[in-house]
Amino acid sequence: MSRHTQHAVHPEPELQRGRMECVFLTCFRSEFSVLATTLHYSGVRVLRAGSLDEADFLLTVTGATALLSDVTFLDGDWRDAMRMLAQLHPLVPFLIVADPVDSPYLEDAYARGACGVLWKPFDFTLVIQMIRTVGQAARERAIWVEEAYVAEPSLR
């Protein structure tokens, strides 16, 4: 008698503690779909937000570990997204999604706190590496903040 193992044709990535989730603030559905589908098979779940309010909501309810943002979107630009993060989600890292033609508009992005730029056309190996890196940094920051909070009674 032989043993057979069943495999799903398109298995879901394991929902482990380290699973990556990020929010992509964009008004381009087709670009989002390509990115989300590709990253899905690398264990990165990408949710689409069309506005700053939607991005805030998704970051709040999912606990996403990163925000990706187009240079401009329906109700603002990458600077608006960074301000929203600083005010409401200070531990969430920020990556800008940009075309090479946008580079002059991003000269101060790193000085303002962006963790990186995902250049189009996407090099998916680099995109996955950057998202995993900032996601891990976000988790480590959250642990550090929690430990500091527990160790220092005056923070409560």
Q: What is the pLDDT of residues 86-123, one digit of tens each?
A: 999 999 999 999 999 999 999 999 999 999 999 999 99
Of 103, 150, 149, 124, the closest CA to residue 40 belongs to 124
Q: Is residue 147 part of a domain?
A: yes
What is the model's pLDDT at position 104?
95
Alpha-carbon gap, residue 81 to 63, rounded angstroms: 17
Domains in the chain: how many in total?
1
Q: Is residue 28 part of a domain?
A: yes
pTM: 0.82
Q: Is residue 15 part of a domain?
A: no
Neighbours of 110 (CB within 10 A): 12
Q: What is the pLDDT of residues 2-55, one digit of tens each?
A: 444 433 333 333 334 457 899 999 999 988 999 999 999 999 999 999 999 999
Domain extent for 34: 20-155
Q: Taking the CA of residue 96 as centre, how many other CA atoms within 13 Å lie in the half-sphere pointing to its CB?
A: 26
Q: What is the CATH number of the domain that holds 28?
A: 3.40.50.2300
